[in-house]
Amino acid sequence: MNRGYWDEPVTIETLTLGRYQSVTSAAEAARILLEEWPVDEGEAYLAAKTACLAVLAGEAEPVTARDAFLAAADEAGVFVRP
């Protein structure tokens, strides 16, 4: 299975304050969006889920999912470590 690895990981703060997680692929981002994301609605959230699934299906490039994941984090107020 194509996991859609990213060239550069995204490090986000988890739901546990002060705890961080590095996300390295579209597959990992999809799992986080579906199981651990603080919200389950919003335009960027839905776009990120769609982008991750498109990458896993071989229909989009991994950078598309990474960019969408960052937009979803911004929308949800999830802290992204620079």
Which pLDDT tens digit goes with each residue over 3-58?
899 999 999 999 888 899 999 999 999 999 999 999 999 999 999 999 999 999 99
If one counts the domains in the chain, the total is 1
Give CA–CA dist 25/43, Å, rounded: 21
What's the pLDDT score for residue 30? Answer: 97
Whole-model pTM: value is: 0.95
pLDDT at 70 over 80: yes
Q: How far apart are CA 46 and CA 8, in angstroms?
A: 22
Q: What pLDDT score does 1 carry? A: 61
Find the domain containing 18 and state its range. Answer: 5-81
CA–CA distance, 5 with 40 (Å, rounded to integer)? 24
